[in-house]
C-alpha cells in the first residue's frame, strides 16, 4: 500500500502559493508507485497581480520536462486562466495551435513551456488538481475488464475516459465527464492514469493516496504470488553466478546496442524483475506493449526478451542469443518505424532499452547511466502494472500506432531538446589507472567535463573515492566510480574491468597511468628495485592493456588507449636505468598494441611528460630527493631546475598532461595511432626522431 507522507507541521511552514504546490508535487513524485519518473503533473489556481497591478486568476502547472520528485518553484509555469477558459467552447484544436495559444497565456515569458496536459488542469473547476500514473490504477486501466472492475471498486464516484493521446480533446473529454457526474471524485484514463482534485493542497494529495489504496487493496486481495505471471519456469542464479556471467555478457550487449550511438548499461536484479523474467508468461506478456505513454518514451514499445535457460549456465549460448536477439530487435524496430512514420520523422536508435534475461534479471541501456536507470525504473512500474492487470483480467496495451504516435509525438520530442547538448566524451567510459594521483585525477576531471563517465582505479582506494565523490558532487551522481586495484595483480585487474562492465557496460578509453619511480646509480641498482619498476610500469601496463583489449574486442565498437610514459622513454635519465628502461618498454608496448588493434578500431598512443611535480604521489616520495641528488641540487630547487632546462622555460602541470590525453582520446586524433607526444616544455635531447 502507498503511504500518505503529508506532514502538517512541515506543510504549515511552507510559503503559500507556488511553494505549497512544490511541497505536494515532491511528495507525489517521491513514491514511484504513485508517479513514475518524469511523468504526471500537478496544478493549483491562485490570485496574482499582473504587470499592471490588477488581480488575475492564475493557474500554476508543471513545466514540460520536469520531474515531480525534484522540481522547484522555477519549474512551474503561471498562466492566465481568463485567457484559457474560452478554449473550452472549441470543438477541436491541434497540438501546434494549443502550444502556440498557451505561450500567449503565460504571465512570465521566462517560465518553462507548460505541461502537455495543461488544459486537463485548466478545464477542471477545482483549485488543486493532480494527474498521476499509479501502478494500481494503471493495472486497472490496462485490464480488458477494467471499467467493470472500477464500478466494483469505486461505484459511481469515477469517470472513465477511453484512451486518447494527451491534448485538447482528452482534456475536454475529462472536463465534460466530470461535469456530467456530480458524484465524481476521480477520473480513470484508459491505458494512462489517474486524475484527482481537492479544494486544498492537502485534500488533493490525500484523495490521490486514498484512491490508489482502494485500487491496490482490491488487487492485493486477489494476487497469488505462486501463480503470478503463470508461475516460475526458471530458478534465479546466485548473485555470484549472475554477476560473473553479466560481466562477460554486458560488453557484448553494449557493443551490439551501440552501432548507431554508444550506450551505457546498467543491470537490475530486483525481486519483482526476477519473478517476471523467470516466469512462464514473460516471453509473450512482455511483448504486448507499453503499459502507459510515459513508460514508452524511455522503454520503447516492448523490451527484448532473451530465450535462455539459466540452469545451463552456458555463457556462449547466451552471448549468441543476445547478439541474435538485438539484431532481430533492430530489424523489427525499423519495420515498426516504416509502418507508422509520418513525413519528416527521423528514426531514433533502434536498439532495445530494456533487455530481459531469465535467471539474471534486466539490463538497461541509455545515453548515460542515469538515463539507463530511468528505463529500468520505469520497467519496474511496467512489471507491477502487468502483474496487477493479469491478476484482474488480461493485460491490454496501447496499439502499435498509438505507441508510435507517443514515441514520435512532437510535444514529447520537445522534452528531449531540454537536455544538455552532448559533448566530445558523452556516452564514453574512461578507465584511468592511478586515478587518485595528480595526472589521473586531472585527467578524470578533464574527461568528465566533456561528458565522460570515469573509473578511477588505484591502490589508494581512499584517495580514488575522494576524487570520485568530488566529481559526482560537481557533475551528478554515477559519473565516477572508484575501484581498488593493484596493476601487478592479474586477478585485481580482471576484477576491476568486470566491475567496469557491471557498472557501465564496458570501457572506451584506457589511460595507463599508474606509476612509481626510483633513482640510483646503475651499479647500485638492486634486483629488487629493477623488478619493482618492471612489475609496476611494465607488467602492470601490460595487464591493464591486455584486459582492456579483450573487453574492447568483445564490444566491437573500437576504443583507444593512452599510455603515460616519460621523457625518459626516449632520453635516458641519469641514475634512473630501471625507470628509463621500463618507460621505453611502455612506449614500444603501446606501438605493438596499436599494430594489432587497428583492425578492431583500437587506437593506442603515448604521452611523454617530464617533471610533473604538482600533485604527484611519485614526486612526494623519495624520488624527489633522489633526482635532486642526481643533479647535485637541493630538492626545493628541482622545480626551477626543470623549468630552466626547457626551451620554453615552463613547468609542466597535471592539467597539461590531461589536455594531451584528452586529445588522443578524442575524435580530433581519430586517424592517429602508434604515436608519441612529448609534453616536457621542449627538452632538446628528448625530441622524438
Length of the chain: 689
The number of beta carbons lying within 10 Å of the beta carbon of residue 283 is 15
Distance CA 361, CA 236 (A): 8
DSSP letters spanning 210-274:
HHHHHHHHHHHTT--TTTGGG-BSSPPPPHHHHHHHHHHHHHHHHHHH-SSS--EEEEE--HHHH
Residue 636, burial from CB neighbour count under 10 angstroms (0-12, 13-18, 19+): exposed
The set of cell numbers assigned to 670 is 581519430
DSSP letters spanning 307-368:
---GGG--HHHHHHHHHHHHHHHHHHHHHHHHHH--TT--PPP-S-SEEEETTTEEEEEESS
3-state helix, strand, coil in the chain (%, to 5): 50, 15, 35
Distance CA 45, CA 80 (A): 10
Distance CA 584, CA 158 (A): 77
Can you say whether the dihedral through the CA atoms of 540, 541, 546, 548 is positive or negative? positive
Query: Which residues, in sequence order, are bridge partners of residue 480?
Result: 454
540 contact partners, CB below 8 Å, separation of at least 6: 433, 487, 488, 514
Nearest CA to 81 out of 62, 107, 99, 100 is that of 107
β pairing state of 602-609 and 559-564: parallel
Distance CA 352, CA 330 (A): 8
Angle between helices 146-154 and 369-392 (to 10 degrees): 80
> Catalytic site residue 579?
yes
Active-site residue (options: 579, 631, 642, 653): 579
Mapped to the 3 state alphabet, what secondary structure does 397-454 carry? CCCHHHHHHHHCCHHHHHHHHCCCCCCCCCCCEEEEECCCCHHHHHHHHHHHCCCCEE
Residue 226, burial from CB neighbour count under 10 angstroms (0-12, 13-18, 19+): exposed
Q: Is 678 helix (H, G, I), strand (E, B) or coil?
A: strand
Distance CA 2, CA 212 (A): 7
CA 672 vs CA 561, 594, 661, 665, 669: distances in Å:
12, 10, 13, 10, 5
Q: Is 109 helix (H, G, I), strand (E, B) or coil?
A: coil
Report how far Cα 424 is from the mean position of its chain's Cα atoms.
17
The set of cell numbers assigned to 665 is 582520446
The set of cell numbers assigned to 48 is 496574482
The set of cell numbers assigned to 181 is 457526474
Residues classed as catalytic? 579
Amino acid at each position: 500500500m502507498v503511504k500518505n507522507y503529508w506532514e502538517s507541521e512541515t506543510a504549515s511552514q511552507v510559503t503559500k502559493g507556488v511553494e505549497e504546490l512544490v511541497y505536494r508535487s515532491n511528495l507525489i513524485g517521491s513514491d514511484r508507485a504513485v508517479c513514475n519518473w518524469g511523468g504526471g503533473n500537478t496544478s493549483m489556481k491562485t490570485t496574482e497581480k499582473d504587470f499592471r497591478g490588477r488581480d488575475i486568476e492564475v493557474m500554476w502547472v508543471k513545466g514540460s520536462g520536469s520531474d515531480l520528485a525534484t522540481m522547484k518553484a522555477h519549474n512551474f509555469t503561471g498562466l492566465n486562466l481568463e485567457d484559457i477558459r474560452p478554449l473550452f467552447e472549441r470543438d477541436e484544436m491541434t497540438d501546434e495551435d494549443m502550444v502556440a495559444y498557451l505561450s500567449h497565456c503565460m504571465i512570465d515569458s521566462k517560465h518553462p513551456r507548460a505541461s502537455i496536459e495543461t488544459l486537463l488542469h485548466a478545464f477542471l473547476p477545482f483549485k488543486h488538481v493532480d494527474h498521476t500514473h499509479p501502478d494500481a490504477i494503471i493495472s486497472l486501466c490496462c485490464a480488458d475488464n477494467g471499467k467493470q472492475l472500477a464500478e466494483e471498486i469505486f461505484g459511481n464516484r469515477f469517470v472513465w475516459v477511453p484512451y486518447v493521446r494527451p491534448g485538447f480533446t482528452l482534456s475536454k473529454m475529462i472536463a465534460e465527464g466530470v461535469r456530467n457526474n456530480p458524484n465524481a471524485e476521480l477520473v480513470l484514463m484508459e491505458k494512462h492514469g489517474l486524475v484527482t482534485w481537492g479544494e486544498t493542497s492537502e485534500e488533493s494529495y490525500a484523495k490521490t493516496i486514498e484512491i490508489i489504496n482502494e485500487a491496490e487493496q482490491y488487487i492485493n486481495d486477489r494476487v497469488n504470488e505462486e501463480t503470478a505471471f503463470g508461475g516460475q519456469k526458471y530458478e534465479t542464479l546466485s548473485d555470484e553466478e549472475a554477476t560473473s556471467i553479466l560481466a562477460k555478457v554486458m560488453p557484448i550487449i553494449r557493443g551490439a546496442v551501440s552501432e548507431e550511438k554508444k550506450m551505457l548499461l546498467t543491470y537490475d536484479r530486483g525481486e519483482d524483475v526476477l519473478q517476471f523474467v523467470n516466469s512462464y508468461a514473460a516471453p509473450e506478456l512482455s511483448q504486448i506493449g507499453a503499459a502507459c505513454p510515459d513508460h514508452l518514451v524511455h522503454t520503447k514499445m516492448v523490451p527484448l526478451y532473451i530465450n535462455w535457460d539459466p540452469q545451463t549456465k552456458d555463457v556462449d549460448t547466451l552471448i549468441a542469443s543476445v547478439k541474435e536477439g538485438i539484431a532481430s530487435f533492430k530489424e523489427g524496430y525499423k519495420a515498426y518505424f516504416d509502418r507508422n512514420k509520418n513525413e519528416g520523422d527521423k528514426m531514433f536508435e533502434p536498439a532495445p532499452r530494456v533487455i530481459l534475461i531469465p535467471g539474471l534479471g534486466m539490463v538497461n541501456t541509455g545515453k548515460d547511466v542515469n538515463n539507463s536507470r530511468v528505463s529500468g525504473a520505469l520497467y519496474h512500474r511496467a512489471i507491477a502494472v502487468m502483474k496487477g492487470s493479469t491478476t484482474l483480467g488480461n493485460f491490454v496495451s496501447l496499439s502499435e500506432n498509438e505507441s508510435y504516435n507517443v514515441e514520435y509525438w512532437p510535444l514529447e520530442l520537445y522534452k528531449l531538446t531540454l537536455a544538455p547538448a552532448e559533448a566530445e566524451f558523452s556516452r564514453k567510459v574512461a578507465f584511468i589507472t592511478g586515478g587518485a594521483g595528480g595526472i589521473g585525477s586531472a585527467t578524470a576531471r578533464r574527461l568528465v567535463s566533456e561528458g565522460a563517465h570515469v573509473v578511477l582505479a588505484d591502490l589508494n582506494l581512499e584517495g580514488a573515492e575522494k576524487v570520485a565523490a568530488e566529481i559526482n558532487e560537481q557533475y551528478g551522481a554515477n559519473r565516477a566510480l572508484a575501484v581498488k586495484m593493484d596493476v601487478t595483480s592479474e586477478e585485481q585487474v580482471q576484477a576491476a574491468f568486470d566491475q567496469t562492465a557491471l557498472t557501465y557496460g564496458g570501457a572506451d578509453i584506457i589511460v595507463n597511468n599508474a606509476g612509481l619511480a626510483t633513482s640510483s646509480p646503475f651499479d647500485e641498482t638492486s634486483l629488487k628495485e629493477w623488478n619493482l619498476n618492471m612489475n609496476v610500469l611494465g607488467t602492470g601496463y601490460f595487464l591493464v592493456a591486455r584486459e582492456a583489449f579483450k573487453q574492447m574486442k568483445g564490444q566491437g565498437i573500437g576504443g583507444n588507449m593512452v599510455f603515460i610514459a616519460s621523457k625518459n622513454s626516449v632520453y635516458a635519465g641519469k641514475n634512473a636505468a630501471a625507470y628509463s628502461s621500463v618507460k621505453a618498454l611502455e612506449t614500444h608496448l603501446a606501438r605493438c598494441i596499436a599494430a594489432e588493434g587497428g583492425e578492431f578500431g583500437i587506437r593506442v598512443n603515448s604521452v611523454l611528460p617530464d617533471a610533473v611535480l604538482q600533485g604527484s604521489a611519485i614526486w612526494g616520495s623519495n624520488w624527489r630527493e633522489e633526482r635532486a641528488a642526481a643533479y647535485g641540487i637541493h630538492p626545493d630547487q628541482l622545480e626551477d631546475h626543470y623549468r630552466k632546462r626547457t626551451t620554453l622555460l615552463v613547468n609542466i602541470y597535471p592539467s597539461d598532461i590531461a589536455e594531451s590525453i584528452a586529445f588522443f582520446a578524442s575524435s580530433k586524433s581519430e586517424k592517429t595511432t602508434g604515436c608519441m607526444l612529448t609534453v616536457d616544455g621542449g627538452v632538446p635531447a628528448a625530441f622524438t626522431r
